[in-house]
Chains A and B, each alone.
Chain A
Amino acid sequence: MKYGIGPAGRIYAAALIVAVLCAGPASEYRAVYAEDLSVLKGSITDVRGRPVEGAMVFVYVNSDVRRSAEFISAPADAQGRYRMTVPSGTYWVVARLKKTEGFGPLMPGDKHSGEPREVELLVGSDREADFVVADLRDAISMKKEVSDSSVRVSGTVTDERGSPVSGAYVIVNRSEEVSGIPDFLSAWVDDQGRFTLYVPAGRYFMGYATAFPPEDTYRITGEQVIQDDISDLRITVHNRNNSLDEADHIILK
């Protein structure tokens, strides 16, 4: 099952990890002179690694970023690059793409880099800090990995008329004949006939059963090579006498 975030997501997660690992006590902003200035620069991308033009970096003197920022960068350019000059010191920094001014909740289309990232800016030196911004939908839809060697197979079990079948579950077996307990099996299908199961990638015989253990209620009629996640597998039970026990084969699509 592939359940990982993509490269951009990994960067995003890594950035957040770094930010939180580095979290420490707040330092207060202090008055500075021109020679105390530092440069903060870097890039802002979305979860797919694309530059986010117009995003801005918000710099705070403590970890409370739910307020007006002490410093705000100019909007990032078309390559997602930003650059800003601020007094040297320790700051907490987030990047945001906002259609409205300042901080506050994300509106549709707005993006945010998550937990604030602690950045120490030394006098006279440049500091690179890249950010990945996401909106709520991006964040929620990021997929993760349980294991590199498993894939997720889901779909529905229906009768010939397309109506959900109840009292069944899907089985996946390395051999066509099931002896005892199938190698892999789903939970009982729900009232919409939906099922999900997880198997290592490979070539399998698939079918269904209506009792557990399956004994003679199972039917294996399809063979399937499963390499990647499958989300819309439809198993149609051809039912001669309106009884699952009489089903004679399954069409895998």
Chain B
Amino acid sequence: MKKVAHIHSSKRPFSYPHTHLAVIRVQAVLVFLVFLLLPSAGSGTVVTSDTTWSGEIPVEEDVYVPEGVTLTISSGAVLRISPSESTKTEPEFLSPQTEIIVRGTLRAEGEKESPVTFLSPDSAPSSWAGIIIDGGTVHLRSCAVRDAETGVEVIGGSFSMTGCMLENNRYGLTVHGGDAAVRVEDSRAENNDYGIVLLNGARINGRDFVAGKNRKRDRYSGETKTYQVSTREFAAQKQEQSRVYEDEVILGTAVWQGKIQVNGIIRVPENARLVIVPGTVVEFRKRDTNNDGIGENGLFIQGGFVAKGTEDNPILFRSAEEQKGMSDWDSINILNSDRAQNLIEHCQIENAYRGLHFHFANVAVRASVIRNNYRAMQFQESLVHISGTHFYGNKSVLWARDSEIMFADNVVFRNTSGINLFRNIVTLKDNFIINNRREGLRVREGVPLIEENHIDGNRYGLMVVDAVYGSFGRNIISHNLEFGLALRGTDNLDVRGNVIQANGLTGVMIQKSSARISHNLISDNGERGIGILSFFGTITGNNIAGNGLYNLGIDGDSDVDAPSNWWGAGDVRSSIYDREDDPVKGAAHLEPVLHRPVMVSWPLKTVQADSRWRGDLVVEGTVTVMPGVHLAVLPDTRVLFSEGAGLTVHGTIRAEGEEDGPVIFTAYQGEAAGTWNEIRLDHAAGSLFSHCLIEKATWALHVHFTDFTVEDCSFINNYGGLRFTSGPLSVRHSLFRGNEIGIRSFRGMALITDNVITGNRNGIFVREKGGGLVIRKNNIFDNSSYNIRIGDFNDEDVDARENWWGSVTPSDTIFDARNEPGIGMVHYDPYARQPFPRAVSAGAGGEKGQEIKDQGQGAEKK
């Protein structure tokens, strides 16, 4: 365990970096240096050899059982774990609270008459973190684990429990993922908030594990979808060993290239500079003098550091061991180096304890990969710009304090914990924070500006604690297993324009906070849209609808002001839990209630995770639904496109309106056809448009290579209605009216039935290869140029029999080989003499194909 983290007080006030007195800074540097050059020691208790504990054991600091070591706890032992919530920085720990973390083996060997007890002297839930199993093995026999955040949390490894009680914790037992081996017999989880939590396919084997009398739920399970995230990975070039370094000090400017092996600590003092050129591989031997499992070799930079790789010739920093493991080496430490910007570009950093570690430094990290480290990055009192970098497979991604940070355009994917920020001035923008086992992003104090990030599929999405200022805008926070956004002890926050959707339990959880929450879409969360313990701000101008139990739930005794929100269709009060349900709760003041949705803009340029659009959504540019992603557009939704905007779908879209609640795709402003661009489907198999009205587009639907259905839709006042290549498409019972072209086929395969195609310039235009079309039982009439026009490049005949063409001779309304020899024929005979009655009702909502008037006398066939 590194002492490095203890040069600061955890009670430091909000302040700005680099304004400290010089003497403090020098002291900090010296202390840092002393600690860095010492082998790992420990602020917590590191169990470095097999050990047995018995009797009364006060636990005042974290306990770490590293790999290869067994801690045995004898029967009758009582571990009294001191409550604390600190800002500890050591990457080997996972919780801000006092924890027992096991990567080796823990055996608690209680007996029925003399159990082993883990508890807090305070006897309050969540007083300590609990027993965390992170790849180790834990056997509990006749134990009681109480008063913890999570009695036992299994992140990975093996856990067995017999004759035990988990009680008075927030969570009794939590298991992450299907890889952990968990066996429980004859045990109970009682009087916790949640008894048993199984996440992402976790399973428990055994018998007689009873979860009962828990305050919120006895059992909860949640699973996230794993999306296709193309994580970057750099490959090393084959290199001959060019140099081996032991403990050394570099003077002047040293340039590393080729393959470098480091067997010690390389120190780069002030005024010296280490430069690493593209294609270099730097490998560190593991040296672990204190047997805590953490390597000690690394770089210690007090001068300048430039590692400037390129996309084609990246620089790699990694373990030199044959079996490479996390924490084989220490870190790239940069200390007191803020005159020039240190550069780390196109680098891959792996197998470290802390990949990058800065104090008082100015550093840019660009287009790099930081993976499979205990912690990817940690810094304080620094100016750091991180962009275009992929973080994955780390135990934690980022811990930062008292710094100015720009964190943009990064991918944070499948780490144990995500980003943890304490008292920084930070801008996070355009990041993708997804599928991290614990929190995605945690912000404590400071001035955060969190914009246009996608935070999806983590256990907890975004946690904000004690922040006095902050802006959280245009983020998508979705599919997190428990909650999306949590505010605790915040003030003056602006939470605006976010989509907070489909989180497992609660969309927005608020405790003792003040914020302005406006223009958000908060929907489809498992239990509550917004859950409030105590709140003193305003909730106004939001769409809060379709949440599992309640759109708004008040658990505290204070009233909540939530005027001018849209709560979805149906009875509003039934979606609110407040004093009307329980007289000791606060009252929700909802008036005035909006009966139409507020316009909320889709915040990002992509739809990266399954989404449900409801209410009024504004699309400001071209939004792309990514491959593998499903977009559902719910009944009564309006999608309003800004000028030139559009939607491109590479996943699937299912826009399913209802007879009396169509989905409407229209222009945000303007009435003319072509005001907005198009909905384009490209390899979007399985998509469906049903009961939709699409108007004022350039092309309402533009479809390529997609198995796709359109039914009961209206395409009105567009340049073109439906344009497609390939297929197969089924287009039925829809209305095409007032477009330049109703339907355009290019090498298309489609069954077009029961539609009304009228009032367009050309009803159907067959550009090329029309032999794949079957056009049946449609009313195709009164199109000003042609009902069907065959294009100059189409040399195939088109099957358009059994349609009604109006009261005129069909051939007069068709342009084909009869008009221009060499192009295909339209086979329209036999044809109907009367409109098809089913087609009369074609279309969506109030737009029906009823313009047929009295043109037919009966559906006679010739």
A residues apposed to B, CB below 8 Å: 1, 3-5, 9-10, 13, 16-21, 23, 64-67, 103-107, 112, 114-115, 134, 136, 139-140, 142, 144-147, 149-150, 169, 180-181, 184-188, 190, 196-200, 212-213
Contacts and interface: CB of A to CB of B under 8 A. Distances in A.
30 contacts: A4-B18, A13-B15, A16-B15, A20-B12, A64-B512, A65-B491, A66-B489, A104-B516, A104-B538, A105-B514, A107-B516, A115-B468, A136-B447, A139-B469, A140-B427, A144-B18, A146-B339, A147-B18, A150-B338, A150-B362, A169-B308, A185-B306, A186-B341, A187-B341, A187-B343, A188-B310, A198-B341, A200-B340, A212-B310, A213-B275
Nearest to B253: A181
A149 to B, nearest CB: 6
Interface string B395-431: 0000000001000000000000000000001010000
B323 interface: no
A140 B447 contact: yes
A136 B448 CA distance: 10
Given A17-B15, A20-B11, A196-B385, A105 B338 contact: no
Contacts of A212: 277-278, 308, 310
Top 9 nearest A-B pairs (CB, nearest first) are: A20-B13, A105-B516, A146-B338, A17-B13, A105-B537, A106-B492, A212-B308, A198-B341, A66-B514
Contact of A136 (B14, B310, B492): B492
Interface in B459-518: 468-471, 489-494, 512-516
Contact of B425 (A10, A16, A144, A180): A144
Given A4-B18, A17-B14, A19-B13, A66 B536 contact: yes
B31 to A, nearest CB: 20
Q: Is the interface of B mostly helix, strand, loop or mixed?
A: strand
Contacts of B310: 188, 212
A136 B516 contact: no
Q: Which of B13, B308, B310, B425 has the most CB of A within 10 A?
A: B13
A2 B163 CA distance: 63
Q: Is the interface of A mostly helix, strand, loop or mixed?
A: loop
A20 B9 CA distance: 12
Given A65-B491, A112-B492, A145 B19 contact: yes
B178 interface: no
B383 A213 contact: no
A213 B308 CA distance: 9
B425 A106 contact: no
Contacts of A145: 18-19
Interface string B512-542: 1111100000000000000000101110000
Nearest to B404: A144
Given A64-B512, A136-B494, A187-B345, A144 B17 contact: yes
B340 A105 contact: no
B364 interface: yes
Q: Which of B11, B512, B516 has the most CB of A within 10 A?
A: B516
Contacts of A181: 253, 255, 273, 275, 306
B793 interface: no
B19 A13 contact: yes
A105 B343 contact: no
Contact of A144 (B11, B16, B367): B16
Given A105-B515, A112-B468, A3 B383 contact: yes
B366 interface: yes
Nearest to B339: A150
B340 A184 contact: yes
A197 B340 contact: yes
Given A145-B19, A187-B364, A199-B340, A105 B447 contact: no
Contacts of A146: 17-18, 338-339, 362, 383
A10 B449 CA distance: 21
A139 B253 contact: no
Interface in B280-324: 306, 308, 310
B19 A105 contact: no
Nearest to A167: B310
Contacts of A150: 338-340, 362
Nearest to B364: A187
Given A13-B14, A13-B19, A105 B385 contact: no
A114 B427 CA distance: 19
Contacts of B255: 180-181, 213
Contact of A105 (B11, B15, B253, B491): B491
Contacts of B15: 13, 16-17
A109 to B, nearest CB: 13
A172 B725 CA distance: 54
Nearest to B16: A144
A169 B493 CA distance: 38
Contacts of B364: 187, 196
A213 B307 CA distance: 11
A64 B18 CA distance: 29
Contacts of B383: 3, 144, 146
Contacts of B536: 66-67, 103-104
Nearest to B427: A140
B589 to A, nearest CB: 14
Nearest to B409: A190
Contacts of A21: 11, 13
B19 A188 contact: no
Contact of B494 (A106, A134, A184): A106
B366 A147 contact: no
Contacts of A147: 18, 338-339
Given A20-B13, A105-B514, 11 more contacts: A20-B14, A66-B513, A104-B514, A112-B492, A136-B447, A142-B16, A147-B339, A149-B339, A185-B308, A187-B343, A188-B366
A136 B470 contact: yes
A110 B492 CA distance: 10
A10 B19 contact: yes
A105 B494 contact: yes
B449 A140 contact: yes
B277 A16 contact: no
Contacts of B278: 212
A180 B253 CA distance: 10
Interface string B375-409: 00000000101010000000000000000100000
Contacts of B367: 188
Nearest to B338: A146
A136 B13 contact: no
B13 A105 contact: no
A114 B470 CA distance: 11
B394 to A, nearest CB: 23
Nearest to B489: A66
A83 to B, nearest CB: 25
Interface string B812-842: 0000000000000000000000000000000
B494 A4 contact: no
Interface in B1-16: 11-16
B468 A5 contact: no
Contacts of B306: 181, 185
A142 B339 CA distance: 20
A207 B537 CA distance: 52
A147 B340 CA distance: 10
Contacts of B17: 144, 146
A114 B14 CA distance: 9
Interface in B317-370: 338-341, 343, 345, 362, 364, 366-367
A16 B339 contact: no
B9 to A, nearest CB: 10
B425 A140 contact: yes
Contacts of B339: 146-147, 149-150, 198, 200
A79 B471 CA distance: 31
A181 B304 CA distance: 12
A66 to B, nearest CB: 5
A5 to B, nearest CB: 6
A181 B16 CA distance: 33
A185 B307 CA distance: 12
Given A13-B16, A144-B17, A106 B345 contact: no
